[in-house]
Amino acid sequence: MTEITVTPLGAGQDVGRSCILLSIGGKNIMLDCGMHMGYNDERRFPDFTYVTKEGRLTQHLDCVIISHFHLDHCGALPYMSEMVGYDGPIYMTHPTKAICPILLEDYRKITVERKGETNFFTSEMIKTCMKKVIAVNLHQTMQVDDEMEIKAYYAGHVLGAAMFHIKVGQQSVVYTGDYNMTPDRHLGAAWIDKCRPDLLITESTYATTIRDSKRCRERDFLKKVHNCVDKGGKVLIPVFALGRAQELCILLETYWDRMNLKVPVYFSLGLTEKANHYYKLFITWTSQKIKKTFVERNMFEFKHIKPFDRAYIDNPGPMVVFATPGMLHAGLSLQVFKRWAPNEKNMVIMPGYCVAGTVGHKILNGVRKLEMENKQMLDVKLAVEYMSFSAHADAKGIMQLISQCEPRNVLLVHGEAVKMEFLKTKIKQEFSIGCFMPANGETAVMETKHNIPVDISLSLLKRESAKVGLLPPDAKRPRVLHGALVMKGSKLQLIDAADALQDFGLAEHQLRFTSTLAFDEEGPTTETADKIYQLVKSQLKDFPTHYSSDGSITISDSVLVQVSGDEESKSVLVSWSYQDEDVGSYLLQLLKSELVT
């Protein structure tokens, strides 16, 4: 019996700052290394003292795996590797490796250059950190060291997002990161094979939600946007630079075309070009529809959507603006929100999940007076709408993934405690497997049991099967398979003992087992021997039996029965070799029930 332990440093009964410590087969792995959008102090990064109180993390971690480029999954990476100290391998997919440094640099600029924070990672640190990255392809088995291997699976969610299957010896774990089990307008659905891991660590952002039809949501979104601009209002849609932004842009572009609308639609300056570049570069990661139409028409080159300039914020008349970041916690989206919030004609549509502590989370929870950084109060009079275009699996999708990969245990992260509790109960009821939900800093321990595969030789199987067929069935007693366990190459094999002795050039030594039964019975010993002979013939009729002139009975060449005693008391000696243990022990039980009262 061995153990797998999991300690969340972030995303334990919480969304944001994903960072999970996994110990499996003597290896220590960090799964994601994110920051928390809701904090501006030391709580924004995971507490790495859980790994080590002093010295570099390299001595305590075998590798780091990053599931995708969202900052709540990779935002603390340069801080961890360059400021705390980690020199080991960092694994991520090719798109994640390409996009990650761009988002980290944007985040650094907002934090250091605009907010003036110190003790933060530099541009140089981002570059040094990314040099430690090893890019992986989908379904490619990567050998981390002699004992550990990892394999990436498509997760949907955003460009380059992957689930990782980690295997050390007989133990294995699947970490999902964020994933989406339904395809959208620009990405396919997550998929994994029936790998039956000891543990599935899954996100649970929408643990209690079963989403309505995608078409209904899209129609509702377009109707709300159209109604607002029709009345002369401005619509702000806060998005992450890559992901939901592209899906909603495709949706709005086709609608504007169909309705022949002239209202300007804008996207954060510079990010559209970067997004298009990466979607073209990694076209194989997109949905089937985009791959098919890409030769004739690039769906990411928009006719109606133009780059946005900050000078346009106070332009008169209606407009639609996609601005980053997606939770209104900083940057252009927050700047635009501050200017448009006091006007009730305007609208903000939040298309995804917002972490606690962000402006997005506050307004979605009904806060209409916000204290901003300069201590000034902001009246929120514009309409606030929430439409879940978030690319996370809903409750149905999470259950679907569990069915797909058939884990022995499930551990929930990246969700709210109350919702996790509900899902935990559902998983236990439906799948009858262990389910865990540790909080940040808590350790969950899973015991794993493994069977070692053994090849059985055909000759041994035939001989033992024939023997089993000859004995009366007994459901309570397991059958013993007699053979020699040998290691051939890297495989264990169970072969006939005689074959093993021959292979190794050894002489056979007989090992025999003997048991004596004493009982009272009147009459000569020959009568008792006759009685036993008749019993053996009726109960073990398929075994060759020989009755000798000296009163002994031989069964199957190996089992010997000898009766001795006087006219009043008798004793029966039963002796057998290890090859016929089943026959010997069965016969002993038979004689006990028939002769000993």
What's the pLDDT tens digit per position in 545-593?
Answer: 888 888 888 888 788 889 888 888 888 898 888 777 778 888 888 888 8
Q: Is it the case that residue 52 has pLDDT exceeding 80? A: yes
Query: What one-character-per-residue DSSP string does 402-422 give?
Result: HHHH--SEEEEESS-HHHHHH
pLDDT score, position 490: 64
**Three-state secondary structure readout of 204-270:** CCECCCCCCCHHHHHHHHHHHHHHHHHCCCEEEEECCCCCHHHHHHHHHHHHHHHHCCCCCEEEECC
Which among 262, 256, 231 is positioned nearest to 383, based on CA atoms?
Answer: 231
Fold of 512-596: TATA-Binding Protein (3.30.310)
Torsion angle of C-alpha atoms 416, 419, 420, 425, degrees rounded to 10 = 170
Would you say 33 and 76 are in contact if contact means Cβ atoms under 8 Å apart?
Answer: yes
pLDDT of residue 494: 84
Question: What is the predicted pLDDT for the residue at 471?
Answer: 58
Q: What is the pLDDT of residue 476?
A: 57
Q: What is the C-alpha separation between 296 and 314, in angstroms, rounded?
A: 38
- The Cα–Cα gap between 569 and 202 comes to 71
Which two structure tokens, joined as six digits, stand for 324? Answer: 């980053």
Q: Average pLDDT, stretch 534-554?
A: 85
pLDDT at position 524 over 60: yes
Q: Which CATH class is domain 3-210+391-447?
A: alpha beta
In this predicted structure, the answer to whether residue 30 has a pLDDT above a threshold of 90 is: yes
Count the neighbouring beta carbons within 10 Å of the beta carbon of residue 133: 19
Most confident option among 417-431, 443-457, 503-517: 417-431
What band does 269 get if pLDDT is binned at 50, 70 and 90?
Answer: low
Q: Taking the complete model, does pTM exceed 0.85, yes or no?
A: no
**Residues 269-298, mean pLDDT to the nearest whole number:** 72
Are 78 and 125 contacting, i.e. CB atoms less than 8 angstroms apart? yes
Average pLDDT, the chain: 87
Range 18-27 average pLDDT: 97
Residues 204-216, mean pLDDT to the nearest whole number: 81
- Give the length of the chain: 597
Query: Looking at per-residue confidence, does 563 or 1 come out higher?
Result: 563
CB 310 within 8 A of CB 114: no
Q: What per-residue confidence (pLDDT) applies to 507?
A: 81
Q: What is the pLDDT of residue 496?
A: 80
Instruction: Output 282 or 474, whichever has higher pLDDT.
Output: 282
pLDDT tens digit sequence for 429-485: 999 999 999 999 999 999 988 777 778 777 777 766 666 555 555 655 566 677 788
Chain segment 213-256, per-residue pLDDT in tens: 778 888 999 999 999 999 999 999 998 767 777 788 888 998 99
Look at residues 222, 276, 208, 220 and name the one whose alpha carbon lies nearest to residue 245: 276
Question: What is the Cα–Cα distance from 73 to 32, expressed in whole angstroms?
Answer: 5
**What is the CATH number that goes with domain 214-386?**
3.40.50.10890
**Catalytic (active-site) positions:** 203
Of 55-64, 351-360, 426-435, the range with the lowest mean pLDDT is: 351-360
What is the spatial distance between Cα 561 and Cα 584, in angstroms, rounded to a whole number? 10
Q: Where are the domains of the chain?
A: 3-210+391-447, 214-386, 454-504, 512-596
